A and B are shown apart, each in its own frame.
Chain A
Amino acid sequence: MKKVVVHPERCVGCMQCMVACATAHSRSGELFSAICEIPLPKPRIHVGVGLYGEGFPNRCRHCDPAPCMLACLPGAIYRNADFDTVMIDPDKCINCASCAMACPFGVIRYHEDIFAPMKKVVAVKCDNCIGRQAKGLIPACVEVCKSNALTFETSAEALKRKTNEVARTVSAEAGITAAAPGFNLLNAIKKTQNQLKAN
């Protein structure tokens, strides 16, 4: 089964995944009308800031067993086996925040949502875009990520690629060539800037 795989070293921090996620979970599905909707659609993926100002796309890992599911007393959190996805039933959710307390990754938010009863604040998190997947589309965050920090593939594919990358670095006469020397240069400068602030 294909999953969203995160490659943090490739995140350039543009936050397009956040915009695409909010749009995908809006009523209209279109950016320009989504920004006028009530409730305002919100992203389920969140780009955080690393030690040196670099980005990291933080999203639900759909853990198994999922701590949020174990913590949910009303039983609103369940696993959709077809898409290997941890889901929240907004009708059953009682907005108690137990799931957020249990979640090690801080990916659960509380707000109104188009899938929830009107005016009801519920727990909201990544649903792997199962609506889109059912139509043959890939998750919205992956679709817009042009630096391949987010990919949609099987674990086997992702791990094979990673294994090969590592293997190449130990090949005889392997020169270490950076995938993007300019990005490394930019990050080195940003790192220095941040270190100097602590002086």
Chain B
Amino acid sequence: MSKNYNEKTITTDGQLMLKKAEKDQLETVWDRYEAQLPQCGYCEMGLSCRICNMGPCRVDPFGEGPQKGVCGADADIIVARNLGRMVASGAASHSDHGRDLVEVLEAVAEGKAPGYHINDEEKLKRVAGEYGIDIDGKDILKIAGELAHAMQEDYGTRKKSLTLLQRAPEARRKVWEKAGVTPRGIDRETSEMMHRTHMGVDNGWVSLLLQAVRNALSDGWGGSMIATDVSDILYGTPKPVQTLANLGVLKADHVNIVVHGHNPVVSEMILLACRDSDILAMAKSKGAAGINLAGLCCTGNELLMRHGVAMAGNHLMTELVIATGAVEMLFVDYQCIMPSLGNIAGCYHTKMISTSDKARFPNMEHHEFHPDNAADLAKILVRKAVENFENRGEVYIPVDPVPAVGGFSVEAIIGALGGTPEPLINAIKAGKIRGAVGVVGCNNPKIKHDYGHITLIKELIGNDILVVDTGCVAVATAKAGFKNSEAVQFAGPGLKEICGAIGVPPVLHMGSCVDNVRILVLASALADALGTDISALPLAGAAPEWYSEKAISIGVYAVASGIYTVLGPMPPITGSMNIVKLLTEGLNDVLGATFAVEPDPEKAALLIRKHIEKKRAGLGLDSRDIK
């Protein structure tokens, strides 16, 4: 194991915990990454194909070895099929997460989900209205039931197009229609993507990629959007809320419970149980000062956004959190949960609980949460966590937490602006804010942990670009102090003035990774207010440390929605320069936006600033020359 902790992460808590992990002889994600090197070049380039059993096949990038798979697919077809399947998996993950929430909504309507209730009736009615449900004089639970069923139809095949596409600017919907990528059903597009990539179906690399676009749109304007809306309806639409971030949120004198994963269905019930007075009394009787709930990754973001629950860390910190020895119980649901966690926990007293019927992990206790048992099961398990407090060994919590503000839903942002996007538009028109960038995505051991996020965002806000973030990025910036009352010091003069006037930090936490749809809705509101398309706005997206298939789907729906998007790590596409060219240039003609790939965040910032100034010029606003 290497002693170069500062080559692995820029975070102080991360570096100190890596040292502890080495002392405790833990194998971490960085060790496993080193062990995998060199990674297979065919796979890195997208040139290996495992789709059928005439194969597996690979294409020699140097042109001398095999140039076609056994079926006859060339490099373009193989790369397109592989990329399409990555989008399908990513879209399926978000959309299935959304489906689970719709099922809870349905169970609430049927009175079969004790513990859950309709938290935001106003939003329920508003969304029901969008679905064309007659809400007049109807009981709130009846509306909830009808909305759940209407959303379930969006998952099916009875519709010609998804309901929530109407939130997009009209010009954007026309772009989709013209390109033939209007998504028809959430599950349908994923299913069709899998069908088309079966051997002997779609062998046009362009048409395969267009289906990937349609599939990603069925995530962004379908599954993910439903996930966010239903979460708001069930658990409350986020408002600005104070919180804390980094490993220091764990408390040595408290029972520490950590939730990790994505869906708030489980974590919301854990939160309720942690606030149960009987269980709190039990914790006190065991000698603990209280029960401290902390989050990891996106289910942590869900709780942070709505309740200010503190955030222990992002993706690459998940193993190291356990190594503090301070966690009594760690709950996981699904997505981005490293199967190594159970082994790490074996070195400490931490009890690991898996909760989803569709996600099992080695060395974890499995307790399935369903709408009908979740509230009770959460209490039973939190009691077990409290009992585990006395088994604690040595505890190492190396840092103090950093304060941050979260909770910027679109509703909260518009609220902070005084009920209309006008002040933000005026600030952009006046050039005080040059534009806005959504920085999203994961961590990846290929990039120094949080370096990509923090370096890029520092450059952007320092140059008067407003940043909104979600997911692992949102955790990185909270830890770096970009989200508290002192954060305006990092902002350029114009952004500093506007943030000061509204009373918000220069980096706005918009939620979990499904909540990237909040950015789409905000971008649509800006475009509508200006009477134009999203692609005409001075906006960009970035995923400086992305790793997951979900991030691919997000990137594709961002570009397909008209947002220029800069990726850090290269996706597995370099086996086909035709596809590289299409994604980085050609898409502009079809969708009005492209991808770029730039692992150096300082250079990525320049690309984004140039793009924003170009879009400003296009709108007739003042434009700067960026060198």
Contact = CB atoms under 8 A, between A and B. Distances in A.
Contacts of A145: 65
A105 interface: no
Contact of A180 (B44, B61, B451, B600): B61
Most buried by B among A145, A181, A197: A197
B38 interface: yes
Interface in A54-107: 54-55
A53 B39 contact: yes
B573 to A, nearest CB: 8
A185 interface: yes
B447 A196 contact: yes
Contacts of A182: 45, 61, 574-577, 580
B37 interface: yes
B569 interface: yes
Interface string B20-43: 000000000000000001111111
A189 interface: yes
A81 to B, nearest CB: 32
B65 A147 contact: yes
Interface string B331-356: 00000000000000000000000000
A183 B448 CA distance: 23
B40 A181 contact: no
A105 B62 CA distance: 27
Contact of B569 (A54, A55, A193): A193
Interface in B29-72: 37-45, 58, 60-66
A152 to B, nearest CB: 14
Interface in A32-61: 47-50, 53-55
B134 interface: no
Interface in A101-152: 145-148
Given A189-B570, A198-B7, A148 B38 contact: no
Given A146-B60, A189-B597, A196-B451, A14 B580 contact: no
A189 B61 contact: no
A145 B62 CA distance: 12
Interface residues of B, number: 33
A199 interface: yes
Contact of A49 (B37, B447, B448, B569): B37
B599 interface: yes
B446 interface: yes
Contacts of A192: 599-600
Most buried by B among A54, A190, A193: A193
Given A185-B570, A189-B570, A197-B7, A13 B62 contact: no
A183 B599 CA distance: 16
B41 A183 contact: yes
A190 B39 CA distance: 11
A192 B580 CA distance: 18
Contacts of A53: 37-39
A47 B570 contact: no
A55 B63 contact: no
A181 B577 CA distance: 7
A196 B448 contact: yes
B580 A10 contact: no
Would you list the 9 A-B pairs with minimal beta carbon distance, nearest first? A12-B41, A13-B38, A182-B574, A55-B38, A146-B65, A180-B61, A14-B40, A49-B37, A186-B574
5 contacts: A13-B41, A14-B40, A14-B42, A49-B37, A193-B446
Given A182-B577, A182-B580, 10 more contacts: A10-B62, A11-B38, A12-B61, A47-B38, A145-B65, A148-B60, A148-B65, A186-B45, A189-B570, A199-B448
Interface of A: 10-15, 47-50, 53-55, 145-148, 179-183, 185-186, 189-190, 192-193, 196-199
